């Protein structure tokens, strides 16, 4: 037996906030929504992996250290799109060899976006 990849991650959000979650994950991030019959969760594809967002009646924010990290192409373009949407980014956590920032989704789940740094100082 060998574990070779992550199939999916599941994150909670407050029940009734489906529209805001769709607008963020599909609209701002550009992730395609994939449907699963007879489920009330929202499902998005990130390459071959899936993100399941589950409405939760007794939702509580995740601990601050918890996060989902996405490796992306063209991080500056995504950064610009999120800034244009007036989302606060956290950009003060350097990671050698990568450009990265953090943002919270509408439910407060912390997301990290990173891209290998091919030119030092591409943006600060």
The pLDDT tens digits of the residues spanning 13-49 come to 999 999 999 999 999 999 999 987 667 899 999 999 9
Rounded Cα–Cα distance for residues 62 and 67 (Å): 8
Rounded Cα–Cα distance for residues 14 and 96 (Å): 35
Express each pLDDT in 56-101 by its tens digit: 998 887 777 788 999 999 999 999 999 999 999 998 888 888 999 9
Is the pLDDT reported for residue 119 higher than 80? no
pLDDT at residue 124, rounded to an integer: 46
pLDDT at residue 2, rounded to an integer: 62
pLDDT at residue 1, rounded to an integer: 67
For 45, the token pair is 């594809």
Rounded Cα–Cα distance for residues 69 and 47 (Å): 13
Is the pLDDT reported for residue 121 higher than 70? no
Tokens 């997301």 sit on residue:
111
């Amino acid at each position: 037996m060998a574990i070779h990849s992550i199939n999916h991650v599941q994150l909670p959000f407050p029940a009734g906030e489906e529209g805001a979650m769709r607008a963020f994950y599909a609209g701002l991030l550009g992730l395609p929504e994939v449907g699963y019959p007879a489920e009330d969760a929202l499902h998005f594809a990130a390459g071959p992996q899936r993100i399941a967002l589950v409405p939760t009646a007794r939702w509580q924010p995740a601990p601050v250290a918890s996060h989902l990290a996405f490796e992306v192409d063209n991080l500056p373009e995504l950064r610009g799109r999120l800034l244009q949407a007036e989302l606060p980014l956290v950009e003060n956590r350097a990671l050698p060899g990568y450009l990265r920032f953090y943002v919270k989704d509408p439910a407060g789940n912390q997301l990290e976006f990173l891209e290998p740094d091919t030119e030092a100082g591409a943006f600060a």
